[in-house]
Structure 1
Amino acid sequence: MCFPCVSPLVIEANHNVTNYIPESALLICFGFILGGIIWGADKVQTFALSPRVFFFYLLPQIILDTGYSMPNKLFFTNLGGILVYAIIGTCWNAASLGLSLWGCHQGGAMGDIDIGLLQYLLFGSLMAAVDPVAVIAVFEQVHVNEVLFIMVFGESLLNDGVTVVRIQLISSGWEPELPLLISTVSFFVVAFGGSLLGFVFGLLVSLLTRCTKNVQIIEPGFIFVLGYLAYLTAEMLSLSSILS
C-alpha cells in the first residue's frame, strides 16, 4: 500500500495523537515527509501540483465524500440563509475587495502597474469564492454545530455558480448593453444546471444499485465512477462541477 494511503489510516488508528495535534496539521507533516522522500530520490523536483491535477483528480473525491455524507435535511431547512450568503455575500465580498484594491491603485499604493478596474474586479471574484476543502477539514476536526457547518459548507458550494458567472461577465468586459436578464439566467443555468445534472446522475446510481443486491461489493465503484462522471460532464458543459 502506498505511503499517501497509509498515512490517513495511521492517523485514524491513533486517536490519542489527534487529541493533541489537529488531523489537518498531521496530514501536512506527512505531505512534507513524502515530498522530502520524492525530492531526495534524485535531488530534483520531478513533480509539481498543477491546477489540472487538483481540480480533476483531487477535488472531486473530497467533494463527493462530503456531499455523500451531508445532512440533507439541514441543508434544505437552511437553504434560504445559505442562498443569502452565497449570492449576496459573495457579490458583496467580490465587489468590495475589487473596488478597495482599485481605490488603493488610484491612490498610488499599488505601485506603477497597468491594471484597470475590470482586472481588480476579476481578482475580487476569484478571491471571494470560499474554498470548501479548508472548511471541511477544520470544521470536521473541531466538531462544530451542525447548523453552522451546513451554513458555511452550503455557502461554499453554491458560491461556485456565482463566481463562475461573475468571472464570465467581467472577462467579457461587462458590456453595458448586456441585459440584466441574461446575467440572471446565466447564474441559474450554471448553478442549478450543475445541481440538476448531479440529480440525474444520483438517480442513475440509485437505479443501478437496486440491481446489485447480490453483488454489493461493486456498489462503491458505481458511486465513485458516476459521481466522478457527473463532475467531468458538468465541466464539459461549463456548469458548476462542484454542485454537480
Structure 2
Amino acid sequence: MSEKLEDSKKQMLDLSDSEEARLLELRKISQDRDRAWQSELEAIQKQHELDSAALSSAMNEIQKLKLQLDRVADCEAAQAHHAESAYVEIQSLRIELTKTLTLVDKLRNQLNDSKESEACSFEEVSKAQMQLEVAKMTEDTLRSEGLKAMEAYKSLSLELEQSNNRVATLEELVSELQSAQDIENMNSAQENGVNVEAEELKTELSNLQVEVSQLRAALEVSETRYQEEYIQSTLQIRSAYELVEQSKSESIQKEAEW
C-alpha cells in the first residue's frame, strides 16, 4: 500500500512538472506573439503616415488641376469669340466683294463707252479682276480658318470633359484611401487586409498623378497652339480687308479720272 502511495506521489510530481513546462512554453509563445503584433502595429502606423503624405499630395494636385481647367475654360471662351469674329469678317468681305463686282461691271461699261481709253481701262479692269480673285481666295482662307477654329473649340471642349472625369476619378480614389485609413483605425482585426488595400490605392494614385502631369503638359501645348492660330487668323483678316479697301479706292479714283 505504501509503495502505491509513493508511485502516486511520483506521478503527481511528474504531472506537475509537465504542466509547469507547458505553462512556460505557452507564456513564451504569448510573448513572441505580442512582440510580433507590436512590430506589425508600428509598421502599419508608419504606412499610415506615408498614406497621409500621399493624400496631401493628391489634394494639392487636384487643386492645381482645377486651376488648369479654369484656364482652359477661359481659353474656350476666347476661342469661341474669335470664331464669331472670323464669321463676321467673312460676311463683311462678302459685302465688299459684291461692291467690287459692281465696280468691275461699271468699269467694263465705261470701257465700252470710251474707245480712246480702251487700253488703259482694260488694264484697270484686269487689275480689279485679279484683286477680286485674291479677295475670293482670302474669303476661302478665312472660311477655312473659321472651320478650324470651331474644330479647335470642339477639341478643347472634349479635353475639358476628359479632365473633369480625371478629377472626379482622382477625388473618388482619395476618398477611398481616407475611408481605408478610418477602417484601419476602427478595426484592428483587419489590419493586414487594409494594409494591402492601401498599397493598391497608393499605386493607383501614383498612376493618376502621372496622368495629371501629362494632361497639364497637353493643356499648355493646346493653349499655345490656340494663341498662334488666333494671331495668324487676325493678320489674315486684316490683310484681306486692306486689300479690298485698296481695290475699292483705286477703282473709285480711276472712275473719277474718267
With normalisation by structure 2, the TM-score equals 0.26
Q: Which structure has the larger Rg?
A: 2
Structure 1 or 2: larger helix share? 2
**Of the two structures, which has the highest relative contact order with CA contacts closer than 8 Å and spacing of 6 or more?**
2
